[in-house]
Amino acid sequence: MDDMMNYKAAEGRYDGCMPYVRCGRSGVRLPAISLGLWHNFGSVDDFDNCLAIAHCAFDNGVTCFDLANNYGPVYGSAETNFGKIMDRSFRPYRDELFITTKAGYDMWDGPYGEWGSRKYLMSSLDQSLKRMHLDYVDLFYSHRYDPDTPLEETLQALVDVVRQGKALYVGISNYPLDTLGFVFSYLRERDVPCLIYQGRFNMLDCGGEKGAILESCESEGVGFTAFSPLAQGLLSDRYLSGKVPQGSRMSRNFFLKNEVLTPELLTKLNALNDLAASRGQKLSEMALSWLLRKKGMTSVLVGASSPQQLLSNLNAVRNIDFTEAQLDTIDRIIA
């Protein structure tokens, strides 16, 4: 731990292969790959490993760290651990970091602990800042659309947290397509434009409304960042045999059920894996590379259970060029 507390960032952290992508029409450039702290950074996880992953990310050009109020488990503990990382390592580098958090899903008991009211969003952000030992976040998201709260109330809360200096930018996540026009115009008219949309997007889940949302953001000058770019691990080599490895996310997490491993899906995954191998990549690397080449895609959020796993994912930026034949093969496989 003493070594961790004497952390000094790698001098060549911006000299590698990490591209920084313009976020919509803003002045912000985000790393092509950002680190998501949804898993592996909670109170149930080993803090030294959390610290090592965060150091590995920053040392390799990852400047964006993505959190939410209820990331853990337990709720809030990912932010608490990130606050410790700030104090032990990242404080001297605060102005090089782009730190995001969110509120929208359930966080505390009672009628004011979730959704999109002004009461909830502002209270949650205040709590997040205390947990992370920050004066402000770079980006604050409304984490999901609330059908029962007037959208004007939710959006005005986002405007006001910027005017209060608690966030530099705002964004939305998991909002339906038919709300985007109003969201973008409301925020733009108040000189607090929506910086970015965060949505689930990966090779196995990219059609229909998701594709239309990406196109809408691109045409409106709003950035897009993809979460679950590996479909929570399905787009890796962990499940190609059809078996669930001990310790894998599917073996311990209710977000990913083993019923999804159908013969049809396994056929697709193995065909994609063969194509990745022909490109000199792992399946996970190719899945990320495929996302990074998409028009309008600003950044993809990866999780990591170890520095080694993170480094493997970061390799994706080294080969984002695909031949037309390869793209056609992918389209045929995932159709």
Q: Answer yes or no: are the C-beta atoms of 61 and 13 closer than 8 Å.
A: yes
H runs (alpha helix) in 60-117: 77-85
* Interatomic CA distance for residues 51 and 71, integer angstroms: 16
pLDDT per residue as tens digits for the range 72-110? 999 999 999 999 999 999 999 999 999 999 999 999 999
Q: What angle do CA 145, 253, 282 make, to 5 degrees?
A: 95
- Residue 67's Cβ-side half-sphere holds a number of Cα atoms within 13 Å equal to 31
What is the per-residue burial (b if ≥16 Cβ within 10 Å, else e) of 220-237? bbbbbbbbbbbbbbbbbe
Confidence of residue 2 (pLDDT cuts 50, 70, 90): very low
How many CB atoms are located within 10 Å of the residue 329 CB?
17
Instruction: For strands 194-200 and 299-302, give the pairing.
Output: unpaired
Indicate whether 216 pLDDT > 60: yes
pLDDT per residue as tens digits for the range 110-133? 999 999 999 999 999 999 999 999
Q: Secondary structure of the chain: what % helix, strand, coil (to 5)?
A: 45, 15, 40
**Which among 78, 138, 70, 158 has a CA at the least distance from the CA of 299?**
138
Delimit the domains of the chain by residue range. Answer: 2-334
Query: Which amino acid would we find at residue 141?
Result: Y
Indicate whether 1 pLDDT > 50: no
- Region of poorest pLDDT, from 45-54, 184-193, 242-251: 242-251
* Interatomic CA distance for residues 1 and 15, integer angstroms: 28
Percent of the chain at pLDDT > 70 equals 94
Confidence of residue 245 (pLDDT cuts 50, 70, 90): low
Confidence at residue 248, expressed as pLDDT on a 0 to 100 scale: 55
E-strand spans in 210-325? 223-227, 299-302
Confidence of residue 6 (pLDDT cuts 50, 70, 90): confident
- What mean pLDDT, rounded, does the chain reach? 95
Confidence of residue 250 (pLDDT cuts 50, 70, 90): low
Confidence of residue 252 (pLDDT cuts 50, 70, 90): low
Confidence at residue 260, expressed as pLDDT on a 0 to 100 scale: 83
**What fold characterizes domain 2-334?**
TIM Barrel (3.20.20)
How many CB atoms are located within 10 Å of the residue 73 CB?
13
pLDDT per residue as tens digits for the range 29-67? 999 999 999 999 999 999 999 999 999 999 999 999 999
Beta bridge partners of 299: 225
Q: Which residues contact 130 (CB under 8 A, 6 or more apart)?
A: none
pLDDT per residue as tens digits for the range 287-323? 999 999 999 999 999 999 999 999 999 999 999 999 9
Q: Is the pTM of this model over 0.85?
A: yes
3-class DSSP state of 12 = coil
3-class DSSP state of 195 = strand
E-strand spans in 33-190? 33-36, 64-66, 98-103, 137-142, 167-173
